[in-house]
Structure 1
Amino acid sequence: HGTRHPNEIGAAEVEAFLTHLAVEGNVAASTQNQAFSALLFLYREVLHQDLGPIDALRAKKPKRLPTVLTKEEVRRVLGHLSGAHQLMAKLLYGSGLRLMECLRLRVKDIDLAQRAIIVRDGKGMEDRVTMLPDSLIAPLQEHLQRVKRLHEEDLAKGYGAVYLPYALDRKYPNAEREWAWQYVFPSDRLSVDPRSSVVRRHHLDESGLQKVIRQAAQRAGIPKPVGPHTFRHSFATHLLENGYDIRTVQELLGHKDVKTTMIYTHVLNRGGLAVRSPLD
């Protein structure tokens, strides 16, 4: 539209532009959505105009199957990890946790007696309970002993106050220093919390685990794109392979809609008919 001012352009031009992106520009759905959001912000927040309903042709979102490792590949990748990183990766695979769910675990969320993990405020802000593998009980106990010693050292130096969500620090003034509220996977250094300027020990950064898992997969010779979420995909797929009900897997993963969980049946190439190739 040349050098025309946005004030002179309305819904029809916005629709034409978004359709152009999808049809002639052949952009991804996420790119078109980003352009649409930027235009909505411009008109609503800057120009104070309501564009009304926009009926543009939308770019198709590709349906991609998740990357899944075999059990042997999981074993090989885990074998190239060590320490807290290996323990976290084993939780991602053994409990089906998302990356940030793992990093944000607090001591009180681990129920060793019941062999369970309580995932607080998962995707959709809903709590859920998932399994804690028997094989991780002893390593987790040893890890928590080391973390507790670190916390006690912080307390002795006048630190040890962890971040609490939802203003819980005002409701429970002493909770931020209590052992139960500490992160299971704390950072190896103290830092200033930009929200409050308090010196705290935050949880480990997600980029660190992403990097070491990627490197471990390369060293293990896995010719697939592997990241933390690959372990969650593998968790779901292997449970279905072992014959567990899809509703059970849905609950463990915290999916609201079983259709989201159904993607793993496609990964298995079962599709309900368990079709075998004529070559086999």
Structure 2
Amino acid sequence: MSKVGVNWHTRPKILYSKGVVLDRFKRYLMGIGLRDETVKLYVGLVGGFLDYAEADEPNTEIADAFKDYLIEKRLSRGHINNACFAIKKFYKMNNIEWNFIRLKVNDGLPYYFDEKDVLTIFQVCSNMKHLAMLQTLFYGCLRSSELCRLDDSDLDLKTRTLRLRETKGGRDDIVYISEECVDTLRTYLKMRPQIEVENRFPLFYTDSRNRWSNGDVNRMFTYYKDKARITKQGGPHVFSRHTTATLMIANGCDCRIVKEILRHKDIHTTLRYAHVADKTKRTSYEQYLVL
């Protein structure tokens, strides 16, 4: 893939020290109050941009070329937009104005797993910690980052709820979990010692006694998905967000309730799942199209 749109003979000849630049960028993002997950995302995306530019202070012409490069690679429009937002923040840190045209994200039908897929994934999971994580992820309708941030104090087994802190949008929330999930968590908690990580007690921690990362969760989920011989597209987000929304709507749950359970800001986000809830459509068709 060529780096289009740039005269590489005129690129800035600046000593490349990516780590120093990214540390400064990270401090800048934290200083303007962005959430930890957003900071991590933006730092990673700008790191990729700096690798492409091979310069500490790439000019905006290179940023334009980088966007074209991402488009040529056929990356998702959401990823490209996020990269551009991150680069815009990077330039703003250096008092440079860079504008870009946001790509319209296709409103395609979401992927999802069916009930059999979910149960099979649970059944092939023989590791109690992993099963507890998968069930918490699924029944809590959580994002991977939300699962990773859970502490022992966020779990209330009596009320079958989880407290989420600084979720997408920066707000706190209370979510439900099922009785099956509670039973699994009780068993898990009896088996594992409580440990402290950075002055907090994570509900789930790795074998090396660190907090789980999104990448760790993705690799763990992919392992059990492959073990269950499921070839459908989708990772943890499809499993715990797209699938839960689709199944609830398919089983007759009002879209407005699903919106609240999944903590969507806009009902139109939730309505996407109504299009793939075939069971609900068939039931309604047979119930109301009567002569």
TM-score norm. by structure 2 comes to 0.63
* Alpha-carbon separation, structure 2, partners of 1:84 and 1:206: 16
User: Is it true that 1:259 corresponds to 2:268 in the alignment?
Assistant: yes
The residue number in structure 1 matching 2:247 is 238
The residue number in structure 2 matching 1:108 is 153
Change (3 A) 1:57 1:27: farther
User: Is it true that 1:34 corresponds to 2:53 in the alignment?
Assistant: no
The superposition leaves residues 58-78 of structure 1 with CA deviations (integer Å, 9 ceiling, x where unpaired) of: 544333332211101111122
* Alpha-carbon separation, structure 1, partners of 2:123 and 2:90: 48
Q: Which residue of 201, 205, 230 corresponds with 1:182?
A: 201
Identity %: 26
The residue number in structure 2 matching 1:140 is 185
Look up the SS of the partner of 2:174 in the other structure: strand
CA RMSD of aligned residues (A): 3.5
User: Is it true that 1:61 corresponds to 2:105 in the alignment?
Assistant: yes
Q: Which residue of 195, 204, 211 corresponds with 1:203?
A: 211
* Alpha-carbon separation, structure 2, partners of 1:79 and 1:59: 41
The residue number in structure 2 matching 1:99 is 144
Q: CA deviation at 1:250?
A: 1.4
Letter in 2 for 1:65: L
Show structure 2 runs of 5+ residues with no match.
1-5, 13-59, 287-291
* Alpha-carbon separation, structure 2, partners of 1:33 and 1:186: 29
* Alpha-carbon separation, structure 2, partners of 1:39 and 1:126: 25
Change (3 A) 1:31 1:208: closer
Q: CA deviation at 1:35?
A: 5.5
State which structure, 1 or 2, has the greater radius of gyration over its C-alpha atoms.
1
Letter in 2 for 1:184: L
* Alpha-carbon separation, structure 1, partners of 2:216 and 2:90: 34
CA contact (8 A) 1:128 1:252 kept: no
Change (3 A) 1:50 1:58: closer
The residue number in structure 1 matching 2:119 is 75
Deviates more, 1:205-214 or 1:114-123: 205-214
Q: CA deviation at 1:219?
A: 2.7
* Alpha-carbon separation, structure 2, partners of 1:252 and 1:49: 41
Return the structure number with greater helix share.
2
Q: CA deviation at 1:41?
A: 4.2
User: Is it true that 1:117 corresponds to 2:125 in the alignment?
Assistant: no
Look up the SS of the partner of 2:162 in the other structure: strand
* Alpha-carbon separation, structure 1, partners of 2:72 and 2:181: 50
Q: Which has the higher contact order (CA 8 A, sep 6+)?
A: 1
CA contact (8 A) 1:95 1:131 kept: yes
Look up the SS of the partner of 1:186 in the other structure: coil
Change (3 A) 1:128 1:75: same
CA contact (8 A) 1:187 1:205 kept: no
CA contact (8 A) 2:197 2:211 kept: no
The superposition leaves residues 8-53 of structure 1 with CA deviations (integer Å, 9 ceiling, x where unpaired) of: xxxxx96xx57x949x9596534476357647745x555x5546xx
* Alpha-carbon separation, structure 2, partners of 1:36 and 1:224: 31
CA contact (8 A) 1:81 1:213 kept: no
* Alpha-carbon separation, structure 2, partners of 1:69 and 1:91: 17
CA contact (8 A) 1:214 1:226 kept: no
Show structure 1 runs of 5+ residues with no match.
7-12, 152-159, 164-175, 190-200
Change (3 A) 1:108 1:208: same
Counting matched residue pairs gives 224
User: Is it true that 1:85 corresponds to 2:94 in the alignment?
Assistant: no
* Alpha-carbon separation, structure 1, partners of 2:81 and 2:251: 40
CA contact (8 A) 2:196 2:202 kept: no
Change (3 A) 1:59 1:26: farther
TM-score norm. by structure 1 comes to 0.66
User: Is it true that 1:162 corresponds to 2:197 in the alignment?
Assistant: yes
